[in-house]
Amino acid sequence: MSSHQNMSTNSSVDHCKTPNPVTYEILSWLMVVQFVLGLPLNLSVLYIFIFRFKFWKNKSIFLFNIVVADFLLVVCLPAKAYHYRHHLRRSQDGVVCKTMLFMLFLNRGASIAFLITLSIDRYFNVVHLGRRNFVKMLKKTPQISILIWLLLLPLTIPTMVKTFECCNSHGRAVETYYHDVTDTFREVVFFTQIIIPFVILVYCTVRIVNRLRKKTVGEKTKLRRAVCVVMSVVVVFSVCFLPCAIARAVLLSVRLKNWQIAEDVVVQVYDGLMVLSYMDCLLDPLVYCFCNSGFKDAYISTFCPAFLRNRLLNSDFGLGTTTTTTSATRTISLPIIDK
């Protein structure tokens, strides 16, 4: 009887209203900062990839796709901040709500897919050097990137069936079999999309680091760069994706037990970590710099002031990058289009 009472009480709560307005006003300002920093950063990165650095010729198609995914995220931030400022966890308009969810989770899926693909590529280049690298073959065909986006669509659609953001899933009310299966599938997609890639990432990182330890000093340059690539991806995962996955697991557990008071606290933590996950649009450019020194050189030579340009171009950041200098001007190994 008491269980039924708790269920009905829990179902009567509007879980799309913010439990603490102050928390969500702070989160809204954080998203404004992310937008103000992320929009010019990602626009400048897009400019470099398209106009200064021919990504389609420099085998950087996967990097370019991450930029596109980040840009999709950045354009959603103002609407998300607006809702938080008005004490709503999501838009009350069904179309806007589903569009936002679709864009946000498509970005997440694409970022994870292409970041992991880059890590696997580095793994094969280092650990299985000399063997056929299927990822390197895939990088040469733009159609593969299109296929990855298309494969992400069926994994993104379940987030729009019911209100994912307010977590109105198991434990909310008496569910039909269809809703139960849909909600379960949606949660499975959410967690496996993060956990499985992270396991792959840890495996690649450990193998590359072990390979680095076995190499002689003269052979370490390429390996050191590979370690920096996978470690930068680990940082993105650890800051942006893992915390919100753990928080969501806790949130689902609390909701299934109908602990409403605890839920009001946990939901704020979860939403805060989701906002933190949007930082990937600011952290991903670090991955681009580690992955491709040509991109780094193109970006620095285009946007950095003259007094910093020479210093940054002649610095290898401890990666052992081979540089050739002539009359204090660095010779860039990968092609950069002149202005």
Section 9-28 average pLDDT: 74
The more confident residue out of 59 and 188 is 188
Percent of all residues in the chain with a pLDDT value above 90, rounded to a whole number: 19
Domain boundaries along the sequence of the chain: 2-291
CB atoms near residue 111 (< 10 Å): 26
Q: Can you tell me the distance from the alpha carbon of 37 to that of 281, in angstroms, rounded to the nearest whole number? A: 9
Q: Which tens digits make up the pLDDT trace of 137-152?
A: 666 667 788 888 888 8
Average pLDDT over residues 272-298: 86
Structure tokens at 178: 């269809």
- Asked if the model's pLDDT at residue 6 lies above 60, the reply is no
Residues 87-116: pLDDT tens digits?
888 777 777 877 888 888 888 888 898 888
Segment 60-85, tens digit of pLDDT: 888 889 999 999 889 999 999 998 99
Which residues, in sequence order, are CB contacts of 218 under 8 Å at separation 6+? none
pLDDT band, very low/low/confident/very high, at 332 (cuts 50, 70, 90) = very low
Higher pLDDT, 120 or 17: 120
C-alpha triplet 239, 241, 244: angle, nearest 5°: 95
Query: Does the pLDDT value for residue 191 go beyond 50?
Result: yes
Q: What is the DSSP string of 74-122?
A: HHHHHHHHHHHHTTBSS-SSHHHHHHHHHHHHHHHHHHHHHHHHHHHHH
Kindly report the backbone phi and psi dihedral angles of residue 337, in degrees, each rounded to the nearest multiple of 5, phi listed first: -75, 135
Fold of 2-291: Rhopdopsin 7-helix transmembrane proteins (1.20.1070)
Mean of pLDDT over the chain: 77
**Average pLDDT over every residue of 34-43:** 94
Give the up-direction half-sphere exposure of residue 292: CA atoms within 13 A in the CB hemisphere: 25
Q: What is the DSSP letter of 56?
A: T
Look at 182 and 48; give whichever has higher pLDDT: 48
CA separation, residue 48 to residues 159, 236, 283, 333, 336 (Å) = 33, 22, 17, 16, 9
Q: What pLDDT is stored for residue 323 in this prediction?
A: 37
Q: Percent helix, strand and coil across the chain, each rounded to 5? A: 75, 0, 25
Six token digits for residue 216? 């002689």
pLDDT at 1: 40
Per-residue pLDDT at 30 exceeds 90: yes
Q: Is residue 7 over pLDDT 50?
A: no
Higher pLDDT, 232 or 169: 232
pLDDT of residue 160: 62
Side chain identity, residue 334? L
Q: pTM of the entire structure? A: 0.79
